[in-house]
Amino acid sequence: MSWILDTIAAHKAGHSVGVYSVCSANEHVLNAAIDVALAHGSGLLIESTSNQVDQFGGYTGMQPALFRDWVLGLAAARGLAAERLALGGDHLGPNAWQSLPAEAAMGHARDLIAAYVEAGFEKIHLDCSMRCADDPAVLSDDTIAVRSAQLCAVAEAAARRAGRPAPVYVIGTEVPVPGGETGEGSGASGIAVTAVAAAARTVAVHREAFERAGVGAAWPRVLALVVQPGVDFDHSAVLHYRPEQAAALAEFGRTELPGMVFEAHSTDYQTEAALHRLVHDHFAILKVGPAVTFALREAWFALSAIEAQLLPPEARADLPAVLERRMLAQPGHWQKYYGGDAAQQRLLRQFSLSDRCRYYWADAEVQAALQRLLANLDGVQIPLPLLSQYLPEQHEAVVQGQLLPRARALAEHRVGQLLGRYARACQHNRHEGAPS
């Protein structure tokens, strides 16, 4: 964790540096992220959400300790030292149990926090912003803060019990829905930047709640506050960063939050220039999630198009068709998110920026089709003209001798290109401001 603390300290000292957080449990995404960290000589922060990984396994089937071991194994296999890897937990709270009364939901949340900290996750996002079954329609800032402080006390005790380093924390109520947008227009039609008064109140009520809960000593380890800088996306459009709209918030962060930076969620699909400017403007922790699996899906579909040019129909994996079939058979991860008629839903299932198809890559039939695609393409020599047609940037890297024309490598390179924007934005020159 020391490299993250050093980076935040350097940022607070006036250097335009930051930390990007890869929020994914996809093996190919994580391999790409590890390669980017190696290429840039940087550390790597990987975070799992309370939906992906919990004490019951989450939708990945992995409990925190298993996820930790798996990620450490991926890093070791590619030569990334363990001290350059940090693990975080995102949206840790009662999110997965909102249908239960608050007391029961918070009981599960306490067990969740303990499991994460005991497994060695060092960056903990305390998120109690969601209402439970017997809560009022809108939770007060005080209720959210009190519950977050209760979970902080659990985390502190778990670290002591397990002999782990004391965690660092992220707080904040200006958080997007875990897992993605709920409908068209929810992200890109306009969203309010967090008001300075709201940010100040969030910090104040959380600090008071920490003191009342007996965890005031942990307050200096509150590393970041989640705020809304005015960036978001929905199924088909992106709300891009406009620095002038966040100027007052950025100034508040620079001058009024000693030792604390802002954490920006939903930075997916921002331009590289916008990422640089976000870091410069004190949004020094950048979260990215659906965009990385969207890039991976683009690569798999491009490789499937190449397969269709090289193999007869009976030999093809036909991955897009298998994915579509499984999404229709198991609609739970997309149905309440994608509206419209049948044709619109079909497009959204495969091409939405919210990328709900990411939940299906672990499906047994989809995985079998993917492995068949990889085997098919590894069994042939992919002609360069087809690479140029379907994966032109990977074609360029192959021609320059930087990349082998192997299916896995091509797909992970596509993801690495996206993550490279984040690495460069977070490593901006320590003696300069944001690019003009």
The predicted pLDDT at position 80 comes to 98
Q: Does residue 431 carry a pLDDT above 50?
A: no
Asked if 235 and 321 sit in the same domain, the reply is no
Task: Let me know: does 72 contact 119? Beta carbons within 8 Å.
Answer: no
Asked if 81 and 123 sit in the same domain, the reply is yes
**In this structure, what token pair is assigned to residue 210?**
């920490």
Q: Does residue 396 carry a pLDDT above 80?
A: yes
Asked if 279 and 321 sit in the same domain, the reply is no
For 344, how many CA atoms within 13 A lie in the half-sphere containing its CB? Answer: 10
The predicted pLDDT at position 434 comes to 40
In whole angstroms, how far apart are CA 403 and each of 32, 53, 346, 396? 13, 33, 34, 9
Tell me, yes or no, whether 433 lies in a domain: no
Tell me, yes or no, whether 436 lies in a domain: no
Asked if 145 and 253 sit in the same domain, the reply is yes
**Other C-beta atoms within 10 Å of 312: how many?**
7
Asked if 318 and 215 sit in the same domain, the reply is no
Tell me, yes or no, whether 434 lies in a domain: no
H or E element in which residue 365 lies: helix 364-378
Helices (H), 213-268: 247-256
Asked if 385 and 277 sit in the same domain, the reply is no
Asked if 178 and 254 sit in the same domain, the reply is yes
Helix or strand or coil: residue 125?
A: strand
Asked if 262 and 329 sit in the same domain, the reply is no
Residues 340-350: tens digit of each pLDDT: 999 999 999 99
Q: Does residue 36 carry a pLDDT above 80?
A: yes
Asked if 361 and 268 sit in the same domain, the reply is no
Question: Quick one: DSSP state of residue 191?
Answer: -
Specify the CATH number for the domain of residue 370: 1.10.400.20
Tell me, yes or no, whether 335 lies in a domain: yes
| Residue 173's pLDDT band (cuts 50, 70, 90) | confident
| pTM attached to this predicted model | 0.94
Tell me, yes or no, whether 432 lies in a domain: no
Q: 414 burial class (0-12, 13-18, 19+ CB within 10 angstroms)? A: buried
Residues 138-168: tens digit of each pLDDT: 999 999 999 999 999 999 999 999 999 999 9
Asked if 273 and 316 sit in the same domain, the reply is no
Asked if 271 and 385 sit in the same domain, the reply is no
Asked if 264 and 382 sit in the same domain, the reply is no
Cα–Cα distance between 285 and 279 in angstroms, integer? 7
Partners of residue 62 on adjacent β-strands: 53
Tell me, yes or no, whether 179 lies in a domain: yes
Boundaries of domain holding 333: 294-415
Cα–Cα distance between 226 and 210 in angstroms, integer? 17
Domain count for the chain, please give it: 2
The predicted pLDDT at position 366 comes to 98
Tell me, yes or no, whether 59 lies in a domain: yes
Tell me, yes or no, whether 431 lies in a domain: no
Residues 181-226: tens digit of each pLDDT: 544 554 555 689 999 999 999 999 999 999 999 999 999 999 999 9
Helix or strand or coil: residue 350?
A: helix
Specify the CATH number for the domain of residue 116: 3.20.20.70
